[in-house]
Structure 1
Amino acid sequence: MSATIPFPSNVGVIGGGRMGGGIAHAFLMAGSSVTVIEREPIAAEAARERIESSVAKSIERGATDANLDEVVQRLRVEIDYGALAEANLVVEAVFEDFGAKVEALKSAERVLAADSVLASNTSSISLATLAAELERPAQFLGLHFFNPVPASTLIEVVIAPGTRPDVAASAPAWVETLGKTPVVVKDSPGFASSRLGVAIALEAMRMVEEGVASAKDIDAAMELGYKHPTGPLKTTDIVGLDVRLGIAEYLAEHLGERFAPPQILRDKVARGELGRKSGKGFYDWE
């Protein structure tokens, strides 16, 4: 049995948006010191405000006995990757683009200690292709968090072909320390969650496109008939139609035409109807 690595006391998160901020929140609540890297000062300040507000709400709900001031003192938001030098674990959470992820991962790897672990939050991109760009691929794996991170109970642990056994053995225990449930999958396009979730969502979009039923009724069928907490089209709005489009295009390229994005999705993204973040997608969020 492989030795395990202790839960990381010092964590870096690359990207302070909704997903990255949620990841930072999770580790802060578990007692880690967290450094978030953003691209420029305005984004960094926005990320800090977002994370502090999220932590404050969790404390108000009684999720922890910790004092707000104590928790936020463990948070840093920086624009220089050098601030990650002391991190035991760094999680990349930039947008779903291969080049952007490689740039972020390599920038972190250059400043990390030799024994630090690097993870990607990618929801679909092959870890093997990302690992091939790194100097230390044995210390790399996937930690796929779900939105909204504070409320979600699932983290997909994705093991790359070259992931070191002790890293692979330790990650599920880290997830449990965060108060979440690990699902361990091997590296493959879309892993388990995105592959299944996108397949259902794309078929739901085709049904809207063909006039089979409204988005609301399709979602209700899945929520009431199959006990999905949120229907596939509302979930798409929450995730972002542009994000779903990118994942579908990637899966279609690697798994075949069954993942080809329907025209309704392409049209909505072209019009800027990206879901909740833009105010409109398959639903009106204004």
Structure 2
Amino acid sequence: MNKQRIGIVGAGTMGSGIAQALSVCGHEVALVDVSQRAVERGLATITGSMERLVKRGKLAEADTAAALSRIRTSGELAALSDCDLIVEAASERLDLKLELFASLDALARPDAILASNTSSISITRLAAATCRPAQVVGLHFFNPVPVMALVEIICGLQTSDETYQAVADLVAAIGKTAVPVKNSPGFVVNRMLCPMINEAIFALGEGLASAAEIDDAMKLGANHPIGPLALCDMIGLDIELAVMQVLFESFKDPKYRPAPLLVEMVEAGYLGRKTGRGFFRY
């Protein structure tokens, strides 16, 4: 998939990161969000990220300006009608994603591929909401997108080999590594990572140690570059809870039950870095 026009639904942390990774590699990007504030914040995040790369000598100033010029924004899904590929990066809610995929299916070009950046929801189920299930696939990027090398590619039951190959080629073209994953709740990384974070929250809730001590223990004892609670703050406590709920409801296994403290903190609006407070303050 050479230099294509790619649409992204959702200008949050993941959507803006995906937009940056694609635009830097020469792709035209349409970044859409119903919230103008989210769009402005997303563009500011992209600009700030690129400026840091320039200071570190990893990106030329001219390339930054060119990449930013390739990103156009809108508050309307109709702006995606001419895209070759549309990546949905909205909130991790099944009802919202099903509605979005039905809408995108109705407006996108017949040959366009529809992808989801979901971290846990069934691609087969999302594909069934469209009239082009063979052209629906999962493209799960990791945060921060410009830095992380992995992209999980998830094929639903209906996904065609041609669709898989097209997105695999794109992933390779932007310098990332694709890992094909079967359509299963949480896929590979989050099936292992989110329960570990959840267990750290159980440990905190039970008073085994403080948040800083738990994170230090994992960094020093398991050689993790970041502690599980700080990582949860980066991901978003609401995202962690959503993934754990999908795992619990899908497998009906109590080992996936969300930690009560996680549920309470999300109810309080303490969602991590994006709200200024999670297990730590920002």
SS at match of 2:91: coil
Q: Which residue number in structure 1 is paired with residue 5 of structure 2?
A: 10
In the TM superposition, what whole-angstrom CA distance separates every residue of 1:179-213 from its partner, at most 9, and x where no partner exists? 22222101000101111011111111111122222
Cα shift at 1:8 = 4.9
Structure 1 window deviating more from structure 2 (49-58 vs 76-85): it is 49-58
C-alpha contact (below 8 Å) 1:141/1:160 kept by paired residues: yes
1:247 is matched with which residue: 232, 243, 250?
A: 243
Candidates 202, 205, 209, aligned match of 1:206: 202
Percent identity of the aligned residues?
Answer: 38
The answer to which of 27-36 and 155-164 deviates more is: 155-164
Are 1:132 and 2:128 matched, yes or no? yes
Q: Which moved more, 1:103-112 or 1:122-131?
A: 103-112
Partner AA of 1:202 in structure 2: N
Name the SS for the 1:77 alignment partner.
Answer: strand
Query: Is the counterpart of residue 270 in structure 1 residue 233 in structure 2?
Result: no
Cα distance in 2 for partners of 1:83, 1:284 equals: 37
Provide the rounded CA distance (Å) in 1 between the counterparts of 2:217 and 2:186. 25
Pick the aligned partner of 1:185 from 171, 181, 188. 181
Give the corresponding residue for 2:277.
Answer: 280
- TM-score normalised to structure 1 length: 0.92
Q: Indicate the SS of the match to 1:277.
A: helix
Indicate yes or no: 2:18 matched with 1:32. no
Say yes or no: does 1:105 pair with 2:101: yes
Shift of 1:222: 2.1
Q: Is the contact made by 2:116 and 2:140 (CA closer than 8 Å) also made in structure 1? A: yes
CA distance, structure 2, for counterparts of residue 41 and residue 273 of structure 1? 23
More moved, 19-28 vs 149-158: 149-158
| Unaligned stretches of 5+ residues in structure 1 | 1-5
* Inter-partner Cα distance in structure 1 for 2:211 and 2:254: 23
- Residues 127 and 133, structure 2, Cα contact 8 Å, conserved in 1: yes
| Residue number in structure 2 paired with 1:52 | 47
Q: Give TM-score, length-normalised by structure 2.
A: 0.93
Residue 87 of structure 1 aligns to a residue in which SS? coil
Distance (Å, rounded) in 2 between the aligned partners of 1:201 and 1:91: 27
Q: Determine if contact 1:142/1:158 at 8 Å carries over to the other structure.
A: yes
1:258 aligns with 2:255: yes
Residues 18-60 of structure 1: CA deviation (Å, up to 9, x unaligned) = 1111110010011100001110444333333333333343344
| Structure 1 residue ranges, 4+ long, deviating more than 6 angstroms after superposition | none
Encode CA deviations 1:138-195: one digit per residue, 9 max, x unaligned: 0111011111111222211111111110111232332122222222101000101111
**8 Å contact 1:15–1:38 — kept in the other structure?**
yes
Residue 243 of structure 2 aligns to which amino acid in structure 1?
I
Corresponding residue number in structure 2 for 1:196: 192
CA distance in 1, matches of 2:3, 2:127: 21
The reply to whether residue 235 of structure 1 matches residue 226 of structure 2 is: no
Which amino acid counterpart does residue 269 of structure 2 have in structure 1? G
The root-mean-square deviation of aligned C-alpha atoms, in Å, is: 1.7
Q: Deviations over 1:200-239 (max 9, x none)?
A: 1111111112222222222222222222221211111111
**1:165 has 2:161 as partner:** yes
The worse-fitting range, judged by mean Cα deviation, of 140-149 and 51-60 is 51-60
- Matched position secondary structure for 1:114: coil
CA contact (8 A) 1:158 1:185 kept: yes
